[in-house]
Amino acid sequence: MPPIPSRRDFLKSVSTGGVAALALGLASTGAAAAALPPARRGKSVMGLRVPKLDVVRCGVIGLGARGLPTLRELMLLEGCEVKAISDIHAPSLQAGSAEVLKRGRAGVKTFGENAESYLKMLEMPDLDAVFICTPWRDHVPMAVAAMRAGKHAFIEVPAAVTLEECWQLVDTAEETQRHCMMMENVCYGRDELMLLRMCREGVFGELLHGEGAYIHDLRDQMKHLDHGTGSWRTTEHELRNGNIYPTHGLGPVAQYMSINRGDRFSRLVSFSSPSLGMPDYAERNFPAGHPRRTAKYICGDMNTSIIKTARGRTIVVQHDTMNPNPYSRANVIKGTKGVFSGYPNRIYVEGRSPQDHTWETDLTRWYQQYDHPLWKKVEGIAADLPPEGTRGHGGMDFVMRWRIIQCLREGLPLDQDVYDAAAWSAISAVSEKSVAENGASLEIPDFTRGAWENTAPLGIVS
């Protein structure tokens, strides 16, 4: 494997890459959106298989809202051993250490002295994979460093913020031949897995259109000032105007449509509403002169983006976290024979639904026939484990992490690869540019460099 970069070299590369992209903002994004794919410096990792691992030795970077549950579940999985944890926030590191002690795991190393401490973790020879559960802006530098250190990188969503970062992930995975997966947990939800199976088995006919969303009232996160998700996520609304968090709704639809495996995202147009929710919430909840009151929020409350695929299909993706809406990911898939729409779940399949042109709202018979075998298998495994570590987001978190470890132990390709991480995350950057250009139609890069045309769709694995 390539040598681990020195801390000086690594920080230098970050300063000229990710941090520079943050400073340049949309200027660099626009140029990248129109550019041809850069020349490949390694070998495609489409369908990558690596040698089987009897025991997957893991490290966890970031022990906050996503990292601590990740740590708990990894310690419950057969064939998985946690070797190290890292966090620069002392109380979070202490909470991680407490979980390790609770499970009776000895010899787990801790790293948290400063912002570079995780690089020391990556020097450990007895580490196979790293789970990165940190703020968005840390994802790419940490994943790149992990892969260059010979570790597989598993990143929380979104994987990257800029198009430049998306290409960094792709290029590094191809150079190092290491897995790089964005952990889009929603792809492992019961409904989403069932719909994937139904799409593969032709229940909805030829697919035409999909919709995904992240409609989630997160205004209370603005009260996270010194620590917590809102302490850094709120700032994103001051820096960017577009769909800044697309993958929960988009990922499952992309899999239904075999994006990067027979089709690909081609073009996008995007519009944002005014930004009113955050200023209103700040005015009502913070005193005059408070930084939350004086900040200029530029991210429109509701962003609507429309994607056209290479095969002519359409996808609508929406984002709104700053208004009093009931939660929704939309989860719509429409074909020539029928349609499914989520929130609330309803289905209509021509010739199979009881009444013409009428939604079915009782999905019992559909679950009985099309429940995904992976969901059924892992649901049984989770039933024999402590519930506090296996029920995150309705169980989808546990299914995802179990499946990751299974793939590594059996030397199987992952269900999501670095091309998915890049394509799904890139929607943010392209939507920002489109919004800035009054809804301009922009190209979406082909991160597979043409491999999507000859890659088989995901199978229905058990």
The CA distances from residue 203 to 197, 347, 354, 403, in Å, are 9, 11, 15, 25
Laid out side by side, the sheet with 180-182 consists of 109-111, 80-86, 56-61, 129-132, 152-155, 180-182
* pLDDT band of 392, cuts 50, 70, 90: confident
Strand partners, 85: 60, 110
- Of 379, 383, 388, nearest to 102 by C-alpha is 388
Dihedral angle over CA of 178, 392, 331, 455, nearest 10: 20
pTM of the model: 0.92
- In degrees and rounded to multiples of 5, residue 417 shows phi and psi of -120, -175
Per-residue pLDDT tens digits for 113-162: 999 999 999 999 999 999 999 999 999 999 999 999 999 999 999 999 99
Amino acid at 302: M
Average pLDDT of the residues of the chain: 93
In sequence order, the 6+-apart residues with CB closer than 8 A to the CB of 175 are 2, 41, 42
Which H/E stretch holds residue 215?
Answer: strand 207-215
Which H/E stretch holds residue 308?
Answer: strand 303-309
Distance CA 137, CA 108 (A): 27
What CATH class does 187-374+417-453 carry? Answer: alpha beta
pLDDT of 255 strictly over 70? yes
Laid out side by side, the sheet with 303-309 consists of 346-349, 338-341, 332-335, 207-215, 314-320, 303-309, 265-272, 442-443
Domain locations in the chain as residue ranges = 187-374+417-453
- In degrees and rounded to multiples of 5, residue 430 shows phi and psi of -70, -35
Which H/E stretch holds residue 284?
Answer: helix 277-285
The number of angstroms, rounded, from the C-alpha of 295 to the middle of its chain's C-alpha atoms is 28
184 or 390, higher pLDDT: 184
* pLDDT band of 283, cuts 50, 70, 90: very high
Tokens of 236: 């994103």
Per-residue pLDDT tens digits for 284-296: 999 999 999 999 9
Q: What percent of the chain has pLDDT over 70?
A: 92
Per-residue pLDDT tens digits for 66-84: 999 999 999 999 999 999 9
pLDDT of 253 strictly over 70? yes
CB atoms within 10 A of CB 462: 8
Per-residue pLDDT tens digits for 4-40: 444 445 444 444 444 333 333 444 444 444 457 889 9
Answer whether 434's CB lies under 8 Å from 441's CB.
yes
